[in-house]
């Protein structure tokens, strides 16, 4: 829900969805934009059903300067071996006053190996923004120690031969319920500084 709320606020005009996968956020932003362009690697694990352009995101983006008003980069930056290059490219194709909406994991398991290169702190994200001449509109930590422990524990429980998935699901439901309580929210807020599950960022050109 938090991502949906931010897309409502920031998505506009021509939107570029980089590393689009199965476009999980399309339903959230479609009524707030003029058009969207979906780009991902050819042969991605997510398939190519929604692709407009198959392109290696480590290379120069195949678009003219200042073409897009919004760029969405969700759980992609950790798969880019030269992240600053992509920041410069996003800045180049972003219109004046346009926004980049991105999120990255921090305490999270390896995924899409061997193309999983980095985990970023908020300080690294701030540095990328500065080097690409982008202004930070918002930079939030997502989750805290509760969310990290739930994620790690449930991923391990599912490997129990009999009933693993059941116990993983049950543990998630109990932990999520606790996370919604006053104490759960307090623990999350206190621990998010040092144990974030990830980060959410909005940049403006």
pTM (whole model) above 0.85: yes
**Mean pLDDT over residues 11-19, rounded?**
92
Q: Which domain holds residue 130?
A: 2-144+195-204
Residues 116 and 152 in one domain: no
Residues 24 and 46 in one domain: yes
pLDDT digits (tens, 9 = 90+) for 39-72: 998 876 666 677 889 999 999 999 999 999 999 9
pLDDT digits (tens, 9 = 90+) for 77-108: 999 999 999 999 999 999 999 999 999 999 99
Residues 124 and 51 in one domain: yes
Residues 6 or more apart whose CB falls under 8 angstroms from that of 101 comprise 6, 7, 10, 11, 70, 71, 72, 73, 74, 201, 202
Lowest mean pLDDT among 28-37, 141-150, 171-180, 191-200: 171-180
Task: Label residue 28 by pLDDT band (50, 70, 90).
Answer: confident
Residues 63 and 162 in one domain: no
Residues 116 and 176 in one domain: no
Neighbour order of strands in the sheet with 14-18:
53-54, 35-40, 14-18, 68-74, 94-105, 198-204, 135-142
pLDDT digits (tens, 9 = 90+) for 107-161: 998 888 888 999 999 999 999 999 999 999 999 998 899 899 888 988 898 888 8
Cα dihedral 26, 27, 32, 33 sign: positive
**Which position has the token pair 């300080």?**
123
Number of structural domains found in the chain: 2
Residues 11 and 72 in one domain: yes
Residues 120 and 156 in one domain: no
Residues 21 and 117 in one domain: yes
């Amino acid at each position: 829900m938090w991502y949906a709320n931010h897309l409502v606020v920031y998505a506009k005009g021509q939107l570029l969805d980089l590393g689009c996968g199965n476009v999980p956020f399309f339903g959230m932003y479609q009524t707030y934009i003029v058009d969207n362009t979906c780009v991902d690697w050819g042969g991605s694990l997510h398939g190519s059903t929604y692709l407009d352009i198959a392109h290696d995101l480590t290379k120069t983006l195949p678009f003219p300067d200042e073409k897009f008003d919004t760029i969405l980069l969700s759980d992609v930056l950790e798969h880019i071996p030269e992240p600053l290059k992509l920041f410069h490219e996003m800045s180049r194709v972003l219109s004046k006053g346009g926004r980049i909406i991105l999120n990255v994991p921090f305490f999270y398991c390896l995924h899409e190996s061997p193309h999983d290169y980095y985990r970023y702190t908020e300080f690294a994200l701030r540095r990328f923004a500065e080097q690409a001449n982008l202004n930070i509109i918002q930079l939030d930590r997502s989750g805290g120690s509760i969310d990290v422990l739930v994620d790690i524990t449930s991923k391990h429980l599912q490997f129990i031969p009999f009933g693993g998935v059941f116990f993983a699901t049950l543990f998630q439901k109990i932990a999520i319920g606790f996370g919604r309580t006053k104490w759960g929210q307090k623990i999350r807020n206190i621990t998010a500084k040092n144990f974030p599950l990830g980060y959410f960022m909005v940049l403006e050109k």
